[in-house]
């Protein structure tokens, strides 16, 4: 709270200290929304610029981290809403690595998965591409709830949505994601 | 239980994150997907979606060493731009205020100085040709002898 007050009164070093403390968290959080480093960095910069102008409204009731996370959520959602959604992903759009990864997953559905950094990157890339075809709110709820095991309550707190809205949004988002992947797998099977 | 197994499991996998499915849910799903092809492909897709999302969530970027410098520079630029636009606003407000003062001053001049000059003009114009011709009170000011001497005096002097 002291730091926030000092930064609000124009103390640049106090604001730099806030950035030093919280930028890793803001970056981690913005990385849920974007897969390109430059976009994550743009979002984080926007978050801190907004935070600086709104420091006066930070009353210190909650944590600074929580306050910044909420600003990050809104900023990233707005950025996503402002950008064009990617068209539907088809099997022919898949890279060879992505195609292999999908085959492996289907083959190892019941068995133990082999995990490697390279495979993880391929999976994360593919997830980013599939998520990019979905509405921004779907992307948020899926990444948080299914990717990071966040609870309905946590998502509601961060987004300002009601818990029932979060549940409905998650249900619809899962359906859309599943349909997109199912279509991809179906076309892939046909293609193979 | 049998009735539950017979139901399609799509709603179950859409209601809960994949990682949140209980052992009971998973055995129900397994039993059902062994016979139901459409639910099996839905389950595969849900499983793969979940794996992708987990990998996606595990990835994150760290701030670059120049991040703070970049934000602080942008902040300074914004503040400079804000103060410049404030100055511009102040200057334009000043120009507006001075033009208003000039207008008020002009109006005051017109209100107080012009009527006085109009009075003096009317005093002079009492002897104007129009006023004389219309006999607009000029007779009261100038006597007959003065008029006669004005009209014929010069003539007499010429005759003499």
DSSP chain A: -HHHHHHHTT-HHHHHHHHHHHHHHHHHHHTTT-SSHHHHHHHHHHHHHHHHHTGGG--SSS-HHHHHHHHHHHHHHHHHHHSPPPPPP-GGG--HHHHHHHHHHHHTSSSPPP--HHHHHHHHHHHHHHHTTS-HHHHHHIIIIIIH---HHHHHHHH---HHHHHHHHHHHHHHHHHHHHHHHHHHHHH-
- Rounded Cα–Cα distance for residues A105 and A111 (Å): 9
Per-residue model confidence as pLDDT tens digits over B55-101? 888 888 999 989 999 999 998 888 888 766 666 666 777 777 788 88
- Report CB contact under 8 Å: A185, B41: yes
The whole-number pLDDT of residue A146 equals 92
- Rounded Cα–Cα distance for residues B72 and B76 (Å): 6
| Candidate from A48, A147, A170 with C-beta closest to B71 | A48
The whole-number pLDDT of residue B2 equals 47
Task: Determine the residue of chain B that is closest to A31 in CA distance.
Answer: B60
- Rounded Cα–Cα distance for residues B82 and B69 (Å): 20
Contact B61, A37 (CB under 8 A): yes
Name the region of B143 (left: φ>0; alpha: ψ -120 to 50; beta: rest): beta
For range A127-148, the mean pLDDT: 92
For range A82-89, the mean pLDDT: 77
Whether the pLDDT of residue A43 is over 80: the answer is yes
- Rounded Cα–Cα distance for residues B82 and A55 (Å): 17
Chain A hits for B80, CB-CB cut-off 8 Å, are none
The whole-number pLDDT of residue A97 equals 85
Res. A39 pLDDT band, cuts 50 70 90: very high
Percent of chain A with pLDDT over 90: 48
The whole-number pLDDT of residue A9 equals 81
- Report CB contact under 8 Å: A106, B17: no
Chain A hits for B75, CB-CB cut-off 8 Å, are 15, 49, 52
Lowest-confidence segment of A24-28, A49-53, A168-172, B115-119 by average pLDDT: B115-119
Integer Rg of chain A from CA: 19
- Report CB contact under 8 Å: A45, B74: yes
- Report CB contact under 8 Å: B61, A40: yes
Percent of chain B with pLDDT over 90: 9
Per-residue model confidence as pLDDT tens digits over A59-69? 777 888 989 99
Instruction: Select from A55, A46, A50, A53 the least CA-distant residue to A82.
Output: A46
Whether the pLDDT of residue B137 is over 80: the answer is no
- Report CB contact under 8 Å: B50, A175: no
- Report CB contact under 8 Å: B67, A181: no
Tokens coding A191: 């293609």
Task: Determine the residue of chain A that is closest to B40 in CA distance.
Answer: A182
Res. B113 pLDDT band, cuts 50 70 90: confident
The whole-number pLDDT of residue B5 equals 47
Query: How many angstroms separate the Cα of B128 from the Cα of each of A149, B124, B131, B141?
Result: 103, 7, 5, 13
- Rounded Cα–Cα distance for residues A32 and A128 (Å): 9
Q: Does the beta carbon of A128 lie under 8 angstroms from any beta carbon of chain B?
A: yes
| Residue labelled with tokens 């919280």 | A22
Q: In B, what residues contact A, Cβ < 8 A? A: 13-15, 17-20, 41-42, 44-64, 67-68, 70-72, 74-75, 78
- The complex scores an ipTM of 0.80
The whole-number pLDDT of residue B88 equals 66
Chain B hits for A98, CB-CB cut-off 8 Å, are none
Chain A hits for B15, CB-CB cut-off 8 Å, are 171
pTM of the model: 0.66
Q: Does the beta carbon of A191 lie under 8 angstroms from any beta carbon of chain B?
A: no
Whether the pLDDT of residue A31 is over 60: the answer is yes
Average pLDDT, chain A: 86
Tokens coding A43: 């979002």
| Candidate from B47, B67, B74 with C-beta closest to A23 | B67
- Rounded Cα–Cα distance for residues B62 and B67 (Å): 10
- Rounded Cα–Cα distance for residues A172 and A164 (Å): 12
- Rounded Cα–Cα distance for residues A146 and A127 (Å): 12
What element of type H or E holds B48? helix B37-58
End-to-end CA distance of chain B: 152
Lowest-confidence segment of B35-49, B58-72, B115-129 by average pLDDT: B115-129
């Amino acid at each position: 709270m002291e730091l926030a007050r000092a930064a609000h009164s124009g103390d640049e070093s106090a604001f730099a200290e806030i950035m030093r403390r919280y930028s890793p968290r803001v970056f981690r959080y913005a990385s849920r929304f974007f897969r390109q480093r430059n976009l994550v960095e743009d979002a984080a910069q926007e978050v801190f610029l907004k935070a600086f102008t709104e420091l006066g409204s930070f009353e210190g009731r909650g944590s600074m981290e929580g306050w910044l996370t909420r600003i990050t959520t809104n900023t990233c959602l707005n950025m996503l809403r402002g950008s064009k959604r990617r068209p539907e992903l088809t099997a022919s759009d898949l890279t060879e690595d992505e195609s292999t990864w999908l085959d492996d997953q289907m083959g190892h559905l019941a068995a133990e998965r082999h995990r490697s950094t390279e495979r993880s990157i391929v999976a994360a890339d593919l997830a980013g591409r599939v998520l990019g075809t979905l509405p921004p709110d779907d992307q948020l709820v899926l990444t948080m709830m299914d990717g990071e095991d966040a609870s309905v309550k946590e998502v509601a707190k961060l987004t300002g949505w009601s818990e029932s809205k979060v549940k409905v949004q998650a249900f619809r988002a899962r359906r859309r994601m599943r349909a997109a992947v199912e279509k991809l797998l179906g076309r892939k099977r046909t293609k193979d | 239980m049998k009735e539950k197994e017979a139901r399609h499991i799509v709603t179950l996998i859409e209601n809960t994150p994949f990682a949140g499915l209980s052992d009971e849910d998973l055995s129900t799903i397994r039993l059902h997907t062994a016979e139901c092809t459409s639910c099996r492909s839905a389950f595969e897709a849900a499983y793969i979606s979940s794996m992708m999302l987990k990998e996606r969530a595990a990835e994150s970027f760290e701030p670059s060493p120049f991040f703070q410098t970049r934000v602080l520079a942008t902040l300074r630029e914004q503040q400079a731009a804000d103060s410049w636009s404030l100055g511009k606003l102040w200057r334009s407000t000043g120009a507006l205020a001075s033009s208003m003062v000039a207008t008020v001053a002009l109006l005051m001049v017109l209100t107080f100085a012009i009527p006085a000059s109009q009075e003096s003009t009317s005093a002079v114009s009492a002897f104007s040709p129009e006023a004389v011709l219309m006999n607009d009170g000029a007779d009261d000011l100038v006597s007959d002898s003065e008029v006669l001497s004005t009209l014929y005096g010069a003539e007499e002097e010429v005759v003499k």
